[in-house]
Every structure is written in structure tokens, then in C-alpha cells.
Amino acid sequence: MARQSANNWWHRNHLQCWKYPDLPTKKELIYRVFRAAYPHGAFVDDDLKLVEPRNKDLVWSNLEVEFAEAAEDLDAFLQHLFAEEPRLRAKIEIQRAVHQYYQTLLDDSRYVLYISQNGRYFEFRSMEELLVRYRQLDEKMLSNKLPSITPFTMTGGFGFAIEHLESPDESNIRYLQRHIKMLEEEGRRT
């Protein structure tokens, strides 16, 4: 049975449906999965301070629980989105594309974390640390403060995380983003 739309994983973890057509990114989803499982950080907190060392298998297990809950709540979340967003009401083709986007985003994000946790401990930890750094940079840019950019080396865990957190242009995620935008533009013309 589907959960109440206001009390599902997507809403509790602040992946707001109200921002449509701005769709969440892989970075945002993975960050929210980490914070859903570990509000004060699995490896680093939101101030980039190391937290108490944890077993990476236990961390992965807890992240898997969050991914499963997000997948279980996806349909209820999207039903709520489709009912509340005027641009999506009665537009079946766009709704299908949005549903496919969220499902692909969930699958790709889980896969990226799965690969990183199968590597060395540092690769897995680097994923969360880099997400926190990106988030800090975004907040500084939004508040018009000059960001202090810390360069990342493309070696070790950071290289892996940088490469896998961005969706290449030929990825399914990028294709679906372009497809949804095209459907939106066609809808405005008619």
C-alpha cells in the first residue's frame, strides 16, 4: 500500500517536488541518502569534520535501507507531484518521462555508491566529503559570498567521486532531462 504523500521518504528528506521543472541531481540525491541514514555524517559532518570511524559495510547496509525506502515511496511521491504541479496534470507523456527520470536517478545513484563502497574505504568516504564540499560551495554562491575553493586532486577517492557524481551528456539522466524539457516546450506551444 502506498504511503501518505506528505509522509514519504522524498518529502522527509527534502527532495522538494515544488521545484519542478528543476529536477534533483545525482549529487543531491546521494547527499540526502547519506543524511537520511546518518544525519550527522557517515564519515564527515556538514562542517567537514571526521566523525567516529564506522565500518563501511555497515554504512552501506544503512544506505541500502534508505535507497529501498526511497524506491518504495517513489510512486506516492510522483502521484503527489503530478496532482499538485499544474504543468504535469493530465500530461501522461511528461508524467512517464518524469517517472523514468526519477527511477533512473535512483538507480544510477545507488549504483555509484555501490561501486564506491566496493573500493577502498577512502573512495567511499570521499564520496560523502565531496558532496558536503559541493553543498557548501552552492550555499556560498547562493548567498553571494565568495567561495573559498579547495582544489580536489583527481587521484584516489576524489577522482572516482568527481567522475561518478556528474552525469555525462550521453547518460540516460541527461537524455531524460533534455526529453522532459522538450516535452515541456512542446506543451507550451500547443
Q: What is the pLDDT of residues 123-159, one digit of tens each?
A: 888 889 989 988 888 766 545 454 444 555 666 678 7
C-alpha cell at 16: 522538494
pTM here is 0.86
| pLDDT tens profile 61-82 | 999 999 999 999 999 999 988 9
Residue 171 carries which DSSP code?
S
Q: Residue 153 has what pLDDT?
A: 60
Task: Indicate whether 167 pLDDT > 50.
Answer: yes
Contact 30, 60 (CB under 8 A): no
Lowest mean pLDDT among 85-94, 102-111, 123-132, 142-151: 142-151
Secondary structure (3-state) at 50: strand
Question: Rounded CA gap, 74 and 13, in Å?
Answer: 13
Q: Residue 136 has what pLDDT?
A: 85
Question: Rounded CA gap, 87 and 94, in Å?
Answer: 9
